[in-house]
Chains A and B, each alone.
Chain A
């Protein structure tokens, strides 16, 4: 993405995908904008897989259901944006794309990820927002993506986050907004470069004291934690501000509160997020 931007192709609904591709070929544009073109299948984009020069492919707001493995032919692709389609599965081949740095598959219908998904050599930003994923459907090597600096998992169905998340040493952004999380693993406290943590709208009652290791209150950091059934002392601190929560969970008092809470082993609070209207569920409903 270091080359100067080539002239932009007007993103008009009128131009057919094939026309856009032909134009892009003609002017050697390495960035292909095909958002909101009513595309239902890659077959409507003949010759796309031969455009080895392209570095960005944007296909948001279409009706794509199937991503063919041949997409991985685009070895120079750095950004692949499939936001808001109807994709239920991704091909394993994507994980071998040598230069892919940003993958956005948000707002689709993913219930699983392919085996071996975590082998992307260069992936920096992975957006899986608004799908139907949970901890049981993550492939075993998911947290091997050491190059990841941002992981978006908001609007999914996680109740637990695997402890392996602590392996994402370069992670700066972790979004878990509006899942069904009952607890956070203490290993989140190992993510020393984390500067954005979004855990609002879950079923969390306590934070592991290890979260206190993180710098989440500096001017360059964000901690979003509203709308959880926090234990009273955390809820009280949150009224004043997240920096007070962070100070509090670093205290000995909190460690005691936390240990007692964990050993009490109470049943988790009930699910409160109504997900029946999510369009990621559309298929199941019909």
Chain B
């Protein structure tokens, strides 16, 4: 038994060096022995409350005096720092008090960078630097993005950190984020695709500009179009929901469709919506079918003469000089009469 082997004669108090009387109380702490009256705070000579003491350079102090003499104050909260002390930025800190000045992340285990008198985490430091240079910082590697960033789930990245969800090819900034699929409100379900796979996925692509259509889609001529890119093949004005007319794979506005393929009134040059008078290689709307000489209205039953393929009422024809009527009659006899519809 080890206790037995120690005889009272070779035991001495660690503080005063005297021996111990038989039956005297001995304080044993980590193998060192004290008279109870010697086991006191090196500063206040009082017993340690509840036996708790702090050691510094071989001396023991009560909690109070130890703090007063040796413990640092946190640069943030001003309290003593007990336990782990973070020494940084010329101050001491509780670990929980030493945080990134931009994002408030605890820096004790992450390391920090001094940026213009502030302690910043690596990410925030990179961001601060990039903002100064007018560039983006990759959300993954925190490096600067030199060309265009790839936007994904609200952050910016180097494209090469990602692969196409469909074909696995390494992506670049051209990649497409497929947004909010039905049933998923947040963008957590967003996924990235390369341009080629994206085009194949049935996300409508505009037939004019070849970009995906994320707003209103116009479907016509077997293709999809941005509203503002679906235009008349002749005047190139967007239809914007107005009626369009299709012919040989092209779309036209009303005016140009009729100008190119339909009936315009010879007088008003407007598209004829209602009844059409067709004669003499021309068409007229109901308001404008009239004698070309006196402007009197005519109808289906009115008999008229023809001069230079314009209609002339009988009254006007009768007023033509004889020599002209003779020539017109002669010409009429010469030309095989074309049936007018």
At the interface, yes or no: A109 with Cβ under 8 Å from chain B? no
A-B contact pairs, 25 of them (CB 8 A): A1-B287, A4-B287, A11-B294, A11-B296, A33-B294, A60-B293, A60-B294, A60-B316, A61-B294, A61-B316, A81-B293, A81-B294, A84-B319, A104-B292, A104-B293, A129-B307, A152-B308, A175-B308, A178-B327, A220-B281, A221-B281, A222-B309, A226-B331, A277-B321, A278-B321
Please provide the chain B residues from 318 to 341 with a CB less than 8 Å away from any CB of chain A in the complex: 319, 321-324, 327, 331, 334-335
At the interface, yes or no: B297 with Cβ under 8 Å from chain A? yes
Q: Is there an interface contact between B294 and A36, defined as CB atoms closer than 8 Å?
A: yes
Partner of B281, one of A101, A102, A196: A196
Closest Cβ–Cβ distance, residue B302 to chain A (whole Å): 14
Q: Is there an interface contact between A102 and B267, defined as CB atoms closer than 8 Å?
A: yes
CA distance A129 to B316 in the complex (A): 15
Nearest B residue to A277, CB-CB: B323
Across-interface contacts of A200 in B (CB, < 8 A): 331
> Which residues of B approach A to under 8 Å, CB–CB?
267-270, 281, 287-288, 292-297, 307-309, 316, 319, 321-324, 327, 331, 334-335
Across-interface contacts of A278 in B (CB, < 8 A): 321, 323-324
Q: Is there an interface contact between B295 and A56, defined as CB atoms closer than 8 Å?
A: yes
CA distance A173 to B281 in the complex (A): 11
Partner of B308, one of A2, A149, A198: A198
CA distance A268 to B277 in the complex (A): 42
Q: Which 9 A-B pairs have the closest CB atoms?
A: A277-B323, A1-B268, A35-B294, A58-B295, A279-B321, A175-B308, A60-B294, A83-B293, A222-B281
Q: Is there an interface contact between A81 and B295, defined as CB atoms closer than 8 Å?
A: yes
Closest Cβ–Cβ distance, residue B262 to chain A (whole Å): 11
CA distance A39 to B270 in the complex (A): 33
CA distance A139 to B267 in the complex (A): 26
Please provide the chain A residues from 51 to 98 with a CB less than 8 Å away from any CB of chain B in the complex: 56, 58, 60-61, 79, 81, 83-84
CA distance A42 to B341 in the complex (A): 41
At the interface, yes or no: A8 with Cβ under 8 Å from chain B? yes
Closest Cβ–Cβ distance, residue A74 to chain B (whole Å): 16
Nearest A residue to B323, CB-CB: A277
Across-interface contacts of A203 in B (CB, < 8 A): none
Closest Cβ–Cβ distance, residue B294 to chain A (whole Å): 4
Across-interface contacts of A222 in B (CB, < 8 A): 281, 309
Please provide the chain A residues from 104 to 161 with a CB less than 8 Å away from any CB of chain B in the complex: 104, 106, 124, 127, 129-130, 149, 152, 154-155
Partner of B269, one of A4, A5, A124, A277: A124
